[in-house]
């Protein structure tokens, strides 16, 4: 029998969104300011559609303005850059999120760097990447790693200092910023990837193991140190024996729950926290752009 704590990201995210909603209420009332989030979706990838629909709904539930821009996959790079530019100049828009991946003929790098850094609520612009790497509090922090960090700090009672953290995956949107955040929290950080020699042995040393790979159930029980906190970022659709599809993470949950001290499920773990952090970042962005302090709520 396992006694791992199953971290309820869905409930945690609901609390974060409640706090964001209170902040928005205060901004509207005292500052006549309604934070606005613009989401740009290129193409018709069904998973992205669901993700965008959730975001739009939750943005509005928090009292913020939600703007949605759907474009055909054959949009030119220049047209997309022009759209981003117009959002940069729109005073009702405080946060801009361009859904990734983009079609191959468009440079993701160019599009991300075109977003005004102070509106970059994903935290993907090199300015924000640099601010995070240097440990500046002015960084706009990528939503998925931020959500993971919030759950970890809560589980460990505030401090992660001295813990051995292993991050599996080195993408610019999850693995690298996750490593940077954990380093800023004074963890001893190791990042492993597809070229790592003996990845299992590296993982077994972790007090904190974050999986962001995109390979269903890759992390097995014997990769995990007993009592470790395991955060599963992976979102993989797999087919079940009865022909249906379901969502699983990068961690083999049923096995790992028997050895871990804490674990996040998929769905209901990191995903909802990502959206909640996006909304929180939008409030932060709106306050900074209007040079006002962020409302403090309980």
Ligand X SMILES: NC(=O)C1=CN([C@@H]2O[C@H](COP(=O)(O)OP(=O)(O)OC[C@H]3O[C@@H](n4cnc5c(N)ncnc54)[C@H](OP(=O)(O)O)[C@@H]3O)[C@@H](O)[C@H]2O)C=CC1
Which chain residues interact with ligand X by CB under 6 A? 144, 168-171, 173-175, 193-195, 199, 212-215, 233-236, 270-271, 274
Candidates 99, 128, 184, 264; binder of ligand GUE (CB under 6 A) is 99
Candidates 118, 120, 122, 250; binder of ligand GUE (CB under 6 A) is 122
- Residue 235 counted as an annotated binding residue: yes
8 labelled catalytic: no
Is position 267 an interface residue for ligand GUE (rule: CB under 6 A)?
Answer: yes
Please, which residue, 115 or 199, has the CB nearer to ligand X?
A: 199
Is position 213 an interface residue for ligand GUE (rule: CB under 6 A)?
Answer: no
- Residue 136 counted as an annotated binding residue: no
Is position 232 an interface residue for ligand GUE (rule: CB under 6 A)?
Answer: no
Task: Specify burial of residue 246 (Cβ count, 10 A radius: 0-12, 13-18, 19+).
Answer: exposed
Candidates 21, 268, 288, 289; binder of ligand GUE (CB under 6 A) is 268
Is position 247 an interface residue for ligand GUE (rule: CB under 6 A)?
Answer: yes
Catalytic annotation, residues: 55, 99, 122
Binding site for NADP(+): what residues are annotated? 169-171, 235
């Amino acid at each position: 029998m396992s006694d791992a704590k199953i971290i309820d990201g869905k409930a945690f995210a609901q609390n974060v969104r409640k706090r964001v909603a209170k902040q928005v209420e205060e901004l509207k009332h005292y500052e006549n300011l309604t934070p606005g989030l613009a989401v740009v979706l290129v193409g018709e990838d069904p998973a992205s559609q669901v993700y965008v629909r959730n975001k739009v709904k939750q943005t509005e539930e928090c009292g913020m303005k939600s703007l949605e821009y759907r474009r055909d996959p054959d949009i030119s790079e220049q047209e997309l850059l022009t759209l981003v530019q117009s959002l940069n100049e729109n005073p009702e828009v405080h946060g801009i999120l361009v859904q990734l991946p983009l079609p191959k003929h468009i440079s993701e790098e160019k599009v991300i760097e075109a977003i005004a850094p102070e509106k970059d609520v994903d935290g993907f612009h090199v300015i924000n990447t640099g601010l995070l790497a240097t440990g500046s509090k002015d960084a706009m922090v990528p939503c998925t790693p931020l959500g993971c960090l919030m759950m970890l700090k809560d589980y460990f009672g505030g401090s992660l200092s001295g813990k051995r953290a292993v991050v599996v995956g080195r993408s610019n949107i999850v693995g690298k910023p996750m490593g940077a955040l954990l380093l800023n929290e004074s963890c001893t950080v190791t990042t492993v990837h597809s070229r790592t020699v003996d990845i299992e042995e590296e993982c077994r040393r972790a007090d904190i193991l974050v999986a962001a790979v995109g390979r269903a159930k890759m992390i097995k029980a014997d990769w995990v140190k007993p009592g470790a906190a395991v955060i599963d970022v992976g979102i993989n659709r797999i087919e079940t024996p009865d022909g249906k599809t379901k969502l699983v993470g990068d961690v083999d949950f049923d096995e790992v729950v028997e050895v871990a001290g804490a674990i996040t499920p998929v769905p209901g773990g990191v995903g909802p926290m990502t959206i909640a952090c996006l909304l929180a970042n939008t409030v932060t962005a709106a306050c900074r752009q209007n040079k006002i302090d962020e409302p403090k709520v309980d």
